[in-house]
Structure 1
Amino acid sequence: MTSVPQDTKTKAVVAAEAWRAIFDFIIATAPERNRAIGESGLTPNDARALSSLSQKPGRTMGSLAEEWKCDASTATWIVDRLEAKGLAERRPHPTDRRVKLVGLTALGVRMKAKQMERVYVTPRALLELDLADLVTLRDAVAKLPVPGQAVAIADVQARQRRSKTGV
């Protein structure tokens, strides 16, 4: 095992190199993911919106625009696209009749599940790594926080089991 100096400059340099490698890999494999998304008649933005709506159902346009880092008219346009495909719907707010809440339809829930199967297919290049490298990569990346997304208890428990078993 190689010892890694813990000074801040070295850590920052190694972190930058790791990030560049991860980023380049994600960019290089994007066409595969986008092709899988496109086969369902969706754009990458549609898929991101489905994912967002599946995590937190019943959202206002304002909260969607804030999360999606866009103005309200763009959020409305995206929701209109999903609605036209039967994937999302606007529902009345239970206490404020001026507000509509956006959620997935049953078809939207099924489409999201289908997208998960297609988009989370392991890129072939990852399978070229040996098992020890894959375990190290998985464990290191699993420690990174995902902004705006809560870690499910089952995921935490699975990580704890893996760390005890060594895989």
Structure 2
Amino acid sequence: HVLLQAGVGAMAGGVLGYLVDVYSPQNLHSIIVEPDKADCIYRSGVKGDIVNVGGDMATIMAGLACGEPNPLGWEILRNCATQFISCQDSVAALGMRVLGNPYGNDPRIISGESGAVGLGVLAAVHYHPQRQSLMEKLALNKDAVVLVISTEGDTDVKHYREVVWEGKHAVAP
């Protein structure tokens, strides 16, 4: 599995294109993740063609608040991505908190909002009341090997502390 965050889809398309070339589409489960306020790739995936998103794209995932898919990245995502997810800011905030507070000997990773959303999706699924059903939909099981990529560090010290220390953008119960 690979979870890739998308703004215009250029990074996600480039990484996915490489991984599909190395592993083949049959051996790779890819999930493209976006903020629900700027989910042009998600909407494009649902429609099967480019969809632009306009208006207020107010999201803590500022690096992903783009609204218009990159045509080259979109071609790869349309042809190779397994699933698309549109998620709330609370999912990215959860990812930031998990990365910043690891278990055991795992290293601490200071990640910004856009970089943490992939792990945030995994954590949100893990803590969801319908966890088993969601895991099945994402083809996640005990044998799954998952890759997430944080594309940014702490880009706003004040906001990072508000999210990680003070619980801003908490996941609703």
TM > 0.5 fold call: no
Higher relative contact order (CA 8 A, sep 6+): 2
For the superposition of Structure 1 and Structure 2, which TM-score range results when normalised by the shorter chain?
A: under 0.3
TM-score (norm 1): 0.27
- The structure in which a higher percent of residues are helix is 1
